[in-house]
Copies of this chain bind each other. A is one copy, B any other.
């Protein structure tokens, strides 16, 4: 197997730690002790506490823009210190490091997974591993040693499967598709798990009929927010190729009272 040595290694961090506590800085400190020239990029630390769905979505959105061989660490980890496994996943494009609870699944599956390892080699963790801080004591060292050129198989045994979240499922019928809201962004855009391909399968072209619970919206399928008047609703295929419902310069999620996890049904208009 070729050496996965990365020149200019980039390590990204996605957590629910927030920015007020010392926890994010501690992860960076550990990384810089092991791999002083690593470039660390924050994806976000503002995932709502324990919200694996949103962590998975944000990571899957951002990861495709990073250079090949980037090492992505995600820590949204309500089960820290229990028997949930620690993963190192190698895809065609990147590495993913984090708990085996679904937070890595959307990103890793969107690329081709090549190898999955269960992180268990204590020599590649901090000397003392706290059962409350695997971000700092396990995942940060894993990313840093990987950046230094340690081979993935050194971290632990190869495994075959990972926990797969059910929030990625889509129900396809001839005339409609049912998915869910995976993210409300800070502009209030409602982002679904329904992709361009899904919409094409039912023949969507210029407009869609969108149902949330018993709310029903007929929406123009736009390319830019400015195609409708200020504060009017629209649908668009967002920059990550997922269907989004937005208000031009307004907050769609608040207007329609939608939250992450809500079901969404799309049919022809």
Which A residues are closer than 8 A to B by beta carbons?
8, 10, 12, 17-23, 25-26, 28-30, 32-33, 36-37, 39, 41-47, 49-50, 58-59, 61-62, 65-67, 70, 78-82, 130-133, 136-137, 183, 185-187, 223-227, 236, 238-239, 249
Chain B residues near A137 (CB-CB < 8 A): 239
Taken together as a complex, chains A and B put the C-alpha atoms of A52 and B81 apart, in Å, by 32
Q: Are B12 and A41 in contact (CB-based, < 8 A)? A: no
Taken together as a complex, chains A and B put the C-alpha atoms of A29 and B239 apart, in Å, by 15
Q: Are B25 and A12 in contact (CB-based, < 8 A)? A: yes
Chain B residues near A224 (CB-CB < 8 A): 80-82, 131-132
Nearest to A66 among chain B residues (CB) is B29
Q: 8 closest A-B pairs (Cβ-Cβ)?
A: A81-B224, A29-B65, A131-B224, A18-B186, A22-B62, A82-B226, A20-B46, A130-B239
Nearest to A27 among chain B residues (CB) is B65
Q: How many copies of the polypeptide does the oligomer hold?
A: 3
Nearest to A48 among chain B residues (CB) is B20
Nearest to A248 among chain B residues (CB) is B78
- Known contacts: A32-B66, A132-B225, A223-B131. The answer to whether A22 contacts B41 by CB under 8 A is no
Chain B residues near A130 (CB-CB < 8 A): 238-239
Q: Are B32 and A19 in contact (CB-based, < 8 A)? A: no
Pull 19 A–B residue pairs with CB atoms less than 8 Å apart, ordered by A. Answer: A17-B186, A18-B186, A19-B46, A20-B58, A21-B44, A21-B58, A22-B62, A25-B42, A29-B70, A33-B66, A50-B249, A130-B238, A130-B239, A131-B223, A132-B225, A132-B238, A133-B239, A136-B239, A137-B239
Question: Smallest CB–CB gap between A198 and chain B, Å?
Answer: 19
Chain B residues near A81 (CB-CB < 8 A): 223-227
- Known contacts: A26-B62, A132-B239, A224-B80. The answer to whether A33 contacts B186 by CB under 8 A is no
Q: Are A10 and B22 in contact (CB-based, < 8 A)? A: no
Nearest to A251 among chain B residues (CB) is B49
Nearest to A185 among chain B residues (CB) is B21
Question: Smallest CB–CB gap between A121 and chain B, Å?
Answer: 20
- Known contacts: A46-B19, A61-B26. The answer to whether A67 contacts B33 by CB under 8 A is yes
Taken together as a complex, chains A and B put the C-alpha atoms of A43 and B236 apart, in Å, by 30
Question: Smallest CB–CB gap between A31 and chain B, Å?
Answer: 10
Given contacts A21-B58, A25-B62, A132-B225, 19 further A-B contacts (CB under 8 A): A10-B32, A17-B186, A18-B46, A18-B186, A19-B46, A20-B186, A21-B44, A21-B185, A22-B43, A22-B44, A26-B61, A26-B65, A29-B41, A32-B41, A33-B65, A36-B39, A36-B67, A130-B239, A133-B239
